[in-house]
């Protein structure tokens, strides 16, 4: 066997395998005709490579023109299949032109196989070629193509121009990502065709390259098909995430609608008694106007509800603020060390006043409801009404809810106390199921994280390293995801699995630690420190700092100032 035929036969095997794979794919998804045209193109190119190997191993012109005739036939079929592929892939709709080209190339296919003599190939017009490359002699036993094949050459050139026009049109219309690989492959194909033409005309001695150029075309076609599939998969994943968010949103709405109706039934008898205030009645009117939904017991076990405990807490305190006409609301839950930790607030950037934190702790310890009215001349926190209610999970107190009402919003009354306590009792079923679900999930994953693929682990590690170096800058999740070639939602999900934190919380923690370092070691203004640490507003800075450090920035500076003063005194004495 001639050594030149070995790589050609290897390429033929690859083409047949890829063609069979995509033919099977098309049989499963008939709505994607580009898979069929690509499969046929692969099979035709595989046949062409086999015919090339036969020509390279021919010992005479008579034997060589047999394989050469089959080569021309396969080129006709290739011209047809790749044009239909381009039409399917680019969305080119006018089928009349394609039908005319298909009919014309089919006629040339039949003529090339049926006609003998000077019109096609004959031993009377031999054209053998001797090529010496890298010290190795290669002999091509070919015949001189006749009129039919010269017409075929011109027809293929015209088809190539039409193919180039279709892909360039697709490129201009926004399909650059898909069209660019095909354009590059066509440039390579054109260069190889020019080489073969010049070699065939004895301009310079070299091997024929067209069979290798066909492989480049095949690889580019496979690439754009796979890229299209990957893009579709990403779009489907993003759509599924959006649909999941919508379902979760609606499930939460239905849950709190049912909680409102349950609350109405629970305290209706109390409000029906004479002498009750109209303000409490207005609170219940807001609850009674909520949408109808499924039963609360069923909704409180809905996975869309119990698997989103942070959203559940946020909505619970938001609804409590709404029905009590409070200005701010906070939910504190018991931490691992027994103290209370702020888990949710409404509005989201609200920072709990000191008195609210103290009363929440007292309600948590004593297990009772507390209303603390403001006194005259008191400032924020001290100058607000505060209502604290314990949160019970079964027979255990797991935290406290706290509502704050400023002077301009009036005062809390006993009806507010009963309404909020009843509301928290109604919400307890969903909270209990949410915590049970969380414990079960943690039991299944003792480390608190699922197994990630090495590729995902590497990308998340790069994301962490990037954030640790650039947390002072404005870091957008979308930009970070683009750097790592990931969907933003996927990045956020895997980042939380890996670190246990959202990207925004991770960045805020780094910024808070930097701010804490400056507060302890410098006398810079707190506002300046907040902006220097990367925060865009003081309320956001205060809330993030309190969540991470457990105290306000001012309290932290005061606590750090005393040890620093003692250190300065000792240093001055030593001098």
DSSP 143: B
Quickly state the pLDDT bin for 111 (edges 50, 70, 90): very high
Averaged pLDDT, 262-269: 52
Averaged pLDDT, 18-32: 87
Quickly state the pLDDT bin for 429 (edges 50, 70, 90): low
Per-residue pLDDT, 73: 94
Task: Of 108-122, 177-191, 274-288, give the lowest mean pLDDT range.
Answer: 274-288
Quickly state the pLDDT bin for 449 (edges 50, 70, 90): very low
Averaged pLDDT, 279-296: 45
Per-residue pLDDT, 487: 84
pLDDT in tens, 473-528: 887 888 888 888 888 888 888 888 888 888 888 999 999 999 988 888 888 888 89
CA angle at 398 for the pair 552 and 324, rounded to the nearest 5°: 70
pLDDT in tens, 197-206: 787 777 777 7
Closest to 126 measured CA to CA, from 138, 112, 142 = 142
CB atoms within 10 A of CB 77: 19
Quickly state the pLDDT bin for 20 (edges 50, 70, 90): very high
Residue 141 has pLDDT above 70, yes or no: yes
Residues 6+ away with beta carbon under 8 Å from 506: 464, 467, 495, 499
Per-residue pLDDT, 441: 53
Residue 436 has pLDDT above 60, yes or no: no
**Rounded distance between C-alpha atoms, residue 540 and residue 551, angstroms:** 14
Per-residue pLDDT, 176: 78
Top-level class of domain 5-238:
mainly alpha
Residue 344 has pLDDT above 50, yes or no: yes
Residue 49 has pLDDT above 70, yes or no: yes
294 three-state secondary structure? coil
**Rounded distance between C-alpha atoms, residue 325 and residue 281, angstroms:** 13
String of DSSP letters for 470-499: HTTS---HHHHHHHTT--HHHHHHHHHHHH
Residue 351 has pLDDT above 70, yes or no: yes
Q: Which residue has the higher pLDDT, 568 or 500?
A: 500
pLDDT in tens, 288-316: 444 433 444 444 444 444 456 677 778 78
Quickly state the pLDDT bin for 16 (edges 50, 70, 90): very high
Given the candidates 3.30.450.40, 1.20.120.80, 3.30.70.100, 3.90.1150.10, the CATH classification of the domain at 300-444 is: 3.30.450.40
Residue 228 has pLDDT above 70, yes or no: yes
| Contact in structure between 430 and 300 (CB atoms under 8 Å) | yes
Closest to 34 measured CA to CA, from 80, 88, 81, 98 = 88
Per-residue pLDDT, 294: 41
Averaged pLDDT, 67-88: 91
Averaged pLDDT, 320-342: 81
- The whole-angstrom distance between residue 80's C-alpha and the CA centroid of its chain comes to 38
Q: Which residue has the higher pLDDT, 210 or 270?
A: 210
Per-residue pLDDT, 381: 44
Per-residue pLDDT, 50: 93
- Rounded percentage of the chain residues whose pLDDT exceeds 70: 76
Across the chain, mean pLDDT equals 78
Domain residue ranges of the chain, discontinuous segments joined by +: 5-238, 300-444, 455-574
Please give the CATH architecture assigned to the domain spanning 455-574.
Orthogonal Bundle (1.10)
Q: Which residue has the higher pLDDT, 455 or 118?
A: 118
pLDDT in tens, 357-374: 888 888 888 888 888 876
Closest to 430 measured CA to CA, from 342, 560, 299 = 299
pLDDT in tens, 168-197: 888 888 777 778 888 888 888 888 888 877
Per-residue pLDDT, 101: 92
Residue 446 has pLDDT above 50, yes or no: no
Helix axes 147-172, 176-200, angle to 10 degrees: 160
Task: Of 100-109, 234-243, 363-372, give the lowest mean pLDDT range.
Answer: 234-243
Residue 395 has pLDDT above 80, yes or no: no
Per-residue pLDDT, 246: 64
Per-residue pLDDT, 284: 46
Residue 453 has pLDDT above 80, yes or no: no
């Amino acid at each position: 066997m001639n050594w030149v035929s070995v790589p050609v036969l290897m390429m033929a095997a690859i083409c047949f395998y890829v063609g069979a794979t995509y033919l099977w794919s098309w049989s499963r998804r008939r709505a994607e005709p580009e898979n069929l045209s690509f499969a046929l193109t692969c099979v035709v190119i595989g046949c062409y490579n086999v015919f090339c190997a036969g020509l390279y191993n021919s010992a005479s012109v008579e034997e060589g023109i047999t394989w050469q005739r089959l080569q021309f036939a396969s080129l006709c079929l290739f011209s047809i299949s790749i044009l239909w592929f381009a039409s399917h892939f680019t969305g080119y709709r006018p089928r009349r032109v394609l039908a005319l080209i298909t009919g014309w190339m089919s006629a040339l296919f039949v003529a090339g196989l049926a006609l003998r003599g000077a019109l096609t190939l004959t031993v009377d017009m031999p054209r053998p070629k001797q090529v010496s490359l890298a010290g190795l002699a290669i002999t091509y036993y070919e015949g001189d193509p006749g009129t039919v094949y010269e017409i075929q050459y011109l027809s293929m050139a015209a088809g190539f121009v039409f193919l180039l026009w279709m892909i360039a049109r697709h490129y201009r219309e926004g399909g650059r990502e898909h069209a660019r690989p095909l354009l590059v492959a066509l440039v390579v194909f054109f260069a190889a065709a020019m080489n073969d033409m010049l070699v065939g005309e004895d301009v310079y001695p070299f091997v024929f390259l067209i069979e290798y150029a066909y492989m480049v075309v095949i690889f580019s076609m496979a690439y754009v098909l796979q890229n299209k599939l990957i893009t579709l998969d990403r779009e489907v994943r993003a759509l599924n995430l959006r649909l999941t968010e919508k379902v979760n949103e609606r499930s939460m709405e239905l849950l709190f609608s049912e909680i409102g109706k349950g609350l109405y039934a629970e305290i209706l008898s109390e409000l029906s008694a004479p002498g009750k205030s109209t303000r409490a009645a207005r609170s219940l009117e807001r609850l009674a106007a909520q949408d109808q939904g499924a039963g609360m017991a069923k909704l409180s076990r809905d996975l869309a509800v119990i698997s989103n405990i942070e959203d559940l807490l946020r909505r619970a305190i938001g609804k409590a603020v709404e029905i009590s006409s409070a200005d701010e609301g906070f939910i504190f839950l018991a931490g691992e060390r027994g103290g209370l930790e702020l888990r949710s607030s409404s509005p989201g950037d609200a920072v709990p006043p000191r008195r609210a934190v103290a009363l929440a702790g007292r309600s948590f310890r004593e297990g009772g409801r507390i209303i603390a009215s403001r006194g005259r001349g008191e400032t924020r926190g001290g100058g607000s009404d505060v209502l604290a209610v314990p949160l019970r999970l079964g027979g255990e107190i797991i935290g406290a809810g706290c509502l704050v009402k400023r002077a301009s919003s009036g005062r809390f009354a006993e009806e507010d106390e009963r309404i909020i306590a009843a509301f928290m009792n109604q919400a307890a079923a969903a909270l209990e199921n949410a915590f049970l679900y969380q414990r079960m999930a943690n039991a299944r994953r003792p480390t608190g994280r699922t197994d990630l693929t090495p590729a995902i682990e590497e990308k998340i590690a790069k994301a962490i390293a990037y954030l640790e170096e650039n947390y002072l800058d404005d870091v957008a999740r979308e930009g970070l995801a683009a750097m790592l070639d990931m969907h933003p939602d996927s990045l956020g999900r895997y980042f939380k699995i890996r670190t246990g934190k959202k990207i925004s919380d991770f960045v805020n923690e780094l910024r808070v630690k930097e701010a804490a370092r400056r507060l302890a070691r410098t006398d810079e203004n707190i506002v300046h420190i907040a902006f220097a640490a990367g925060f865009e507003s003081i309320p956001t800075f205060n809330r993030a700092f309190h969540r991470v450090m457990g105290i306000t920035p001012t309290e932290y500076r005061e606590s750090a100032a005393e040890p620093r003063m003692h250190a300065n005194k000792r240093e001055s004495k030593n001098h």
